[in-house]
Amino acid sequence: SLAQRDESDDEQQRRERAFASAQERYYERPMQVQRGWRHHLVDTTGRSYVDMVNNVSGLGHGHPGVADAVNRQIRLLNTNSRFLYRELAEYSERLLALLPEGSELDTVLLVNSGSEAVDLALRVAQAATGRRTVVALREAYHGWTMASDAVTTSAYDNPNALASRPDWIHIADVPNRFRGTYRGDAADLSVGAKYAADLGSDLDTLAAKGRDVAGFICESVLGNAGGVMLPDGYLTDVYARVRAAGGLCIADEVQVGFGRMGSSFWGFEQSGVMPDIITIAKPMGNGFPIGGVITSKRIADALSDQGQFFSSAGGNPLSCMVGIAVLDAMEEEKLQENAQVVGAKLIAGFTALAEKYEIIGPIHGEGLYLGVELVRDRETMEPAKEEAAAICERLKDLGVVVLTTSERSNVLKVKPPLCLTAESADFVVEQLELVLSTGW
């Protein structure tokens, strides 16, 4: 409406004057959001949207359990984590209990964001091995701090992005079986093996140059590439090679972990591996800033040999109680199960659309971490970037918030709050069909 346009325009100008332009903003014509409830966002005109992108709000927006936990704890006690209080141990134990049976990881470090978690994980890996070199995959996003940005290798349209990585980073090929160096269907085990062998030769070359590897970091499902599942056998093979070279394996679970996969709590379980270091953040606090590193005592203790670790707000009573409230709600509301059921429904819906509309290429992901890749040609995989942006803009006008991802900005990312209902999933597929059938 006119009123909405006016208010959004004012807010846009205000933001552009006062806020850094280095941070991107969604949409050409953004709505001004005012309220969130479960998997819905509501704008200043009262219009509601199905929110298909807010993975930080894992439980859904405005969760009363989280609100009550904040209210209760901030009135009772909030102090830095050098004091002794019950909440820190309780939350750490709850996090460790989420690990797969037989895991030897027994130590938690708490920080305030995903970037901090990745930064700390890299520091821990370097401290524990006494080495510097870290191997990261192409087309990854791991954060904005000095170290997490160093392993961020997404180039987008910026030609300097890769050349400006520091010298302790080695960038390995991204194992994308749909459009990468080696391609093939899911059953073709040779695809993962070839990517892993290439990474193995990279490790040999690095060692020959005196650059033995401290660690290898990747998302357990390639979130930033559009929810692309790793080829079968790839991670098992790579982890074995990295460990044989004396390095540690870091799984960045900031986006893909924490129940989102539906069929498993962790992304790495999809590949049947167990990392040495895990990074977590986004959904831990349902919007409240919490991040963490899970590793073994042996690895974490290396930090004390090299100075110390302390985060003023990381692991404070407030963030621990919020984290516990999130875990309680996830269990009570069976959100991992819901991700599996509703995710399967979305996959079926998108797959049916792919049979009718040529622009839909591969459908990536699992559970409620999905990517619908849009291509101009299924053979050449030419990215349908402009089309994807226009489709998102149209979907917004129809009440669905979906945005693009991948370096080619041609994948519709689908990572809603885990409370998404089957009814809303149907609505989203119907609206996408409306856009595809009537044009954008």
What residues make contact with ligand PMP under the rule CB under 6 A? 113-115, 118, 141-143, 219, 223, 252, 254-255, 281
Contact 82, 310 (CB under 8 A): yes
Distance CA 212, CA 130 (A): 10
Distance CA 400, CA 406 (A): 20
**Which long-range contacts does 150-156 make (Cβ < 8 Å, 24+ apart)?**
150/122, 151/118, 151/122, 151/217, 154/224, 154/407, 155/407, 156/407, 156/409
At its nearest, how many Å lie between ligand PMP and the CB of residue 221? Answer: 10
Contact 50, 426 (CB under 8 A): no
At its nearest, how many Å lie between ligand PMP and the CB of residue 50? Answer: 21
Q: Which residues on adjacent β-strands are paired with residue 36?
A: 41
Phi, psi of 403 (to 5 degrees): -130, 170
Contact 315, 90 (CB under 8 A): no
At its nearest, how many Å lie between ligand PMP and the CB of residue 253? Answer: 8
Looking up tokens 């073709």 gives 188
At its nearest, how many Å lie between ligand PMP and the CB of residue 196? Answer: 21
The torsion defined by the Cα of 219, 263, 333 and 363, in degrees rounded to 10, comes to 70
Distance CA 77, CA 73 (A): 6
> Which residue, 118 or 335, is less far from ligand PMP as judged by CB?
118
> Which residue, 143 or 416, is less far from ligand PMP as judged by CB?
143
Residue of closest CB approach to ligand PMP? 114
At its nearest, how many Å lie between ligand PMP and the CB of residue 265? Answer: 16
For residue 120, give the nearest of 145, 96, 95 by alpha carbon: 145
> Which residue, 114 or 317, is less far from ligand PMP as judged by CB?
114
> Which residue, 261 or 281, is less far from ligand PMP as judged by CB?
281
> Which residue, 128 or 254, is less far from ligand PMP as judged by CB?
254
At its nearest, how many Å lie between ligand PMP and the CB of residue 282? Answer: 6
At its nearest, how many Å lie between ligand PMP and the CB of residue 415? Answer: 10
> Which residue, 73 or 279, is less far from ligand PMP as judged by CB?
279
At its nearest, how many Å lie between ligand PMP and the CB of residue 357? Answer: 29
> Which residue, 235 or 429, is less far from ligand PMP as judged by CB?
235
Distance CA 391, CA 223 (A): 21
> Which residue, 110 or 118, is less far from ligand PMP as judged by CB?
118
Distance CA 260, CA 242 (A): 27
Tokens representing 392 are 């998102």
> Which residue, 200 or 315, is less far from ligand PMP as judged by CB?
315
At its nearest, how many Å lie between ligand PMP and the CB of residue 184? Answer: 25
> Which residue, 56 or 375, is less far from ligand PMP as judged by CB?
56
Distance CA 194, CA 302 (A): 34
> Which residue, 122 or 372, is less far from ligand PMP as judged by CB?
122
At its nearest, how many Å lie between ligand PMP and the CB of residue 201? Answer: 26
At its nearest, how many Å lie between ligand PMP and the CB of residue 153? Answer: 12
At its nearest, how many Å lie between ligand PMP and the CB of residue 58? Answer: 13
Distance CA 237, CA 3 (A): 57
> Which residue, 115 or 431, is less far from ligand PMP as judged by CB?
115
Q: Which residues on adjacent β-strands are paired with residue 216?
A: 135, 249
Distance CA 309, CA 282 (A): 21
Q: Which DSSP string do the residues of 69-101 spell out, in sequence order?
A: HHHHHHHH----TTS--HHHHHHHHHHHTTSPT
Q: Which helix (H) or strand (E) holds 214?
A: strand 213-219
What are the CA-CA distances from residue 185 to residues 176, 188, 189, 190, 363 (Å)?
11, 6, 9, 10, 13
